[in-house]
Amino acid sequence: MLDLATLTTDTLLSARLTDVVETLVARDRATFRSRLASLDMRFTDARVEALREAHGVLPPGEFREWEALRQALQGNEEPESHWCSEDRSLRLDIPLHVPDDPQALAELLPSYSAGLIAGLFLLSEDASGDRILLSLLPGPGDTLIIFPFIHERSTLHPARTLKRFLLTEWLSEDEPDPDEAPGQVGESRYEELLDVAREHDERLPAFTPGSPESLIAADSERLYQRSHWLTGILWGRPGPRLTEQLARAPGAADWKLERPWLSRQPLLANYWVLAHYFLGNEDACRTVITAAHQSPAALTRGIARLVEGWLNAPGQARLAKLDATTLANLRRVVRGSARADQQISN
């Protein structure tokens, strides 16, 4: 447990997520500690393995700790088991089951598009619709990182660690009160602790990609920014900024670079199979499908089968509520908004 009155950057660097959660989030600390101590970590390890099998990624080491904390808080079953930060929810929504039915799989694509193309999944949401997205990709010092997502502009704010998010979101400028949430520290201490949290993130060792492949495939922010145009398309809503968004999307040079990596990089395969489909690049799309059939990620293999079915029987293609006619219209709109170098033969 942390002492907020004396907390320093050095102390926070040595602290675990558990310390922050116990100090600020858990309502009944004794019950929380008891639940945490009694957890069967085989269940947690099974969830990590299910995530690896479904998505083909091994999350940072801190993910295992967060899964245990989530269980100990039991936020879904007992809403009063943890203090709330104003109206903010606290959960982590990651699909771990790959439906056998193609239409059931198609239903996942719009809702989880940021996860399938950038490794970003919903952790928290407030009443305004603004969200916190957690990345399953490597963070500094093997930590979990989050991105605030502003829904009105569909933009990501800069990354921060999950530890910093939990500390700062559960703090308050209100004066301390023994009957209220422990994060009430008063205005001056609140500002000091924001600086402590910021310095914590600045002092962590940066993640260093080992190759050009990991430079691209392990960067959630970069993947999201270049793939953002797909999120509206999967809902059937191209939007007035489609041409602008496609201007930031990959082209022929990126395709040539990333094509050899597709069988081992699920997020890249997910992007390219959907992008080529909507861009009308059928031969290139089938190239991705062949590679994606060998993917370590069950979801990627499922998406490849789904898109292959759309290509083989275009009149029967369906994506959630979007029928074959709507999909054909979307493909025309996308191709008409794309750059010349995004229209690829193979």
Confidence of residue 196 (pLDDT cuts 50, 70, 90): very high
Distance CA 344, CA 279 (A): 9
Report percent pLDDT > 70 for the chain. Answer: 94
Say if residue 152's pLDDT is above 50: yes
Match 């904390």 to its residue by tokens. Answer: 69
Residue pLDDT, tens place only, 239-297: 899 999 999 999 999 999 999 999 999 999 999 999 999 999 999 999 999 999 999 99
Confidence of residue 76 (pLDDT cuts 50, 70, 90): very low
Give the model's pLDDT for residue 180.
Answer: 76
Q: How far is CA 153 from CA 14, 148, 196, 215, 250, in A?
A: 36, 12, 29, 26, 21
User: What stretch of H or E contains 314?
Assistant: none
Close Cβ partners of 217 (under 8 Å, ≥ 6 residues apart):
223, 261, 265, 267, 268
8 A C-beta contact, residue 54 and residue 299: yes
8 A C-beta contact, residue 242 and residue 338: no
Q: How far is CA 314 from CA 277, 283, 306, 327, in A?
A: 11, 15, 11, 9
Say if residue 81's pLDDT is above 60: no
What type of residue sits at position 337?
S
Q: Which tokens go with 304?
A: 């490849």
Half-sphere exposure of 56 (CA within 13 A, CB side): 26
Q: Which DSSP string corresponds to 161-215?
A: EHHHHHHHHT-BSSPP-TTS-TTB--HHHHHHHHHHHHHHHHHSPPP--SSHHHH
Residue pLDDT, tens place only, 290-318: 999 999 999 999 999 999 999 999 999 99
The secondary structure of residue 288, as a DSSP letter, is H
Average pLDDT rounded to a whole number, residues 210-219: 77
Phi, psi of 203 (to 5 degrees): -90, -5
CB atoms within 10 A of CB 52: 17
Say if residue 201's pLDDT is above 70: yes
Average pLDDT rounded to a whole number, residues 90-110: 91
Say if residue 75's pLDDT is above 60: no
Q: Which tokens go with 52?
A: 């690896």
Distance CA 96, CA 98 (A): 7
Beta bridge partners of 125: 131
What type of residue sits at position 92?
L
